[in-house]
Amino acid sequence: MDQLLDILKRNRLSVTDGRKKILEMFLKTPGALAHADIEKYTDAAFDRVTVYRTLQTFVDKGIIHNIPTSDNAILYALCKEECADGHHHDNHVHFICDTCGQTTCLDEVTIPEVKLPKGFRPQFSEMVVKGICAACQAKQ
């Protein structure tokens, strides 16, 4: 069975055109996507509201995770196998390229633990590194 359908079925989601198209986009794209990217790619074939709801559904199901940023953009990227239904395990570093603007999941780079001041109990960490990505570096 198609990977796309497999993911939707596994998460007990109805298979609809919008979900297929949006999920397809995530499977094809190496980096992260913002709401705006999806609207552009799908050529506004789906209502904005549908895109919002689809992204939220995918996050809830553990199909995609979001990436913290300092500006006001919410970015999303595909989760690996281990995430499921409300339990995310995306403890990898994210890289944002200053040159091309692309955000990459560095799945093989684990977020290091840090020693916190007395009394703080950590549960989950996020780390974003900015700089120049491998692709842009190679073009120099």
84 is a contact residue toward Zn ion (CB under 5 A): no
Length of the chain in terms of residues written? 140
N-terminal to C-terminal alpha carbon distance within the chain = 42
CA angle 73, 75, 80 (to 5 degrees): 165
Question: Which residues have a Cβ under 8 Å from the Cβ of 73 and sit 6 or more positions away?
Answer: 34
Q: Out of 67, 91, 102, 105, which residue is the one contacting its own copies (CB under 8 A)?
A: 67
Q: Choose the one of DNA, its own copies, Mn ion, none that binds residue 48, judging by a C-beta under 5 to 8 angstroms depending on kind.
A: DNA
> Least separation, in Å, of the C-beta of 126 and DNA?
18
**Does residue 17 bind DNA (CB under 7 A)?**
yes
Using CB under 8 A as the binding rule, whether residue 84 contacts its own copies is answered as: no
CA distance 6 to 12: 10
Partner touching 77 among Mn ion, its own copies, Zn ion, none, CB below 5 to 8 Å by kind: Mn ion
Pick the closer one to Zn ion by CB: 23 or 97.
97
Interaction between residue 18 and DNA (CB under 7 A): yes
Long-range contacts of 48-57 (CB under 8 A, 24+ apart): 50/18, 51/18, 51/22, 54/18, 54/19, 54/22, 55/22, 57/13, 57/19
Q: Which of 4, 74, 111, 127 binds DNA (CB under 7 A)?
A: 74
Q: Hey, what are 87's tokens?
A: 């339990």
* Chain contacts with Zn ion (rule: CB under 5 A): 97, 99-100, 133, 136
* Chain contacts with its own copies (rule: CB under 8 A): 66-72, 74, 93, 95, 98, 106, 108-109, 111-112, 114-135, 137-138
